[in-house]
Each structure stands twice: as structure tokens, then as C-alpha cells.
Amino acid sequence: MILIDQARWWFRDRRWCHLVSDRDLDELHAFAAANGIPERGFQGDHYDIPEEYRDGLIAAGAVEVPSVELVRRLRAAGLRLSPAERRRRVAANGHRPSE
């Protein structure tokens, strides 16, 4: 299932939320691509999503959950990376980690 949390993180004068899969990364990447989310938003285990995209992603099937639930389900699926591992994977793929 594709999950999205509330947009509550500020970066560069925008609020951001997170898009994850509680199943696998293939599902997450397919959903992101189908909805025009660029790969540069991928942060190793989630996509950083600007607030203005959120409603459209929910309309496309992402399920809104609280942030704590999103992380719980990401961990339960074995997909949650430590911050160090996330930075390492993102850097290896040429994407800048979120601040």
C-alpha cells in the first residue's frame, strides 16, 4: 500500500511530506513515476513530496496516515533505513539527501 503523511516539514519555504510503500520499493517507484514524481525526490526509503502534490497523490490512491504510523509500517515492512544508510544510498545514486 502507498502511504503519505501530513506536510509538516519546512524546507526552502515549502512544506513537505513523505510518500512510502509498506510493501516494497518497486511499488513505491511505480506509483511515483505514474504520478509524475521525479526520481530526485527519492531519499533511500521514501520520496520527499511538496505539499502542493499531496492532494493529487491521495486522489491517485495514496492513503493518508499520521507520520508515526507511516514510519511504523515502513519499519514493519523492513524498508526503513537508518539516517546514515539513507545518506549513503542517496549519495551513491547521485541524489541529494533531504535536510
Cell readout for 32 is: 511515483
For residue 72, give the H/E element and its range.
helix 67-76
What per-residue confidence (pLDDT) applies to 8?
A: 93
DSSP 41: G
Other Cβ atoms within 10 Å of 7 Cβ, number: 17
CB-CB contact of 28 with 62 (8 Å): no
What per-residue confidence (pLDDT) applies to 6?
A: 96
The model carries a pTM of 0.81
What per-residue confidence (pLDDT) applies to 79?
A: 76
DSSP 67: H
CB-CB contact of 45 with 15 (8 Å): no
pLDDT along the chain (99 residues), means of 10: 95 94 94 96 92 97 96 86 66 52
Residue where the block lists cell 544508510 = 85
9-11 and 63-64 strand pairing? unpaired
What per-residue confidence (pLDDT) applies to 86?
A: 65
What per-residue confidence (pLDDT) applies to 92?
A: 67
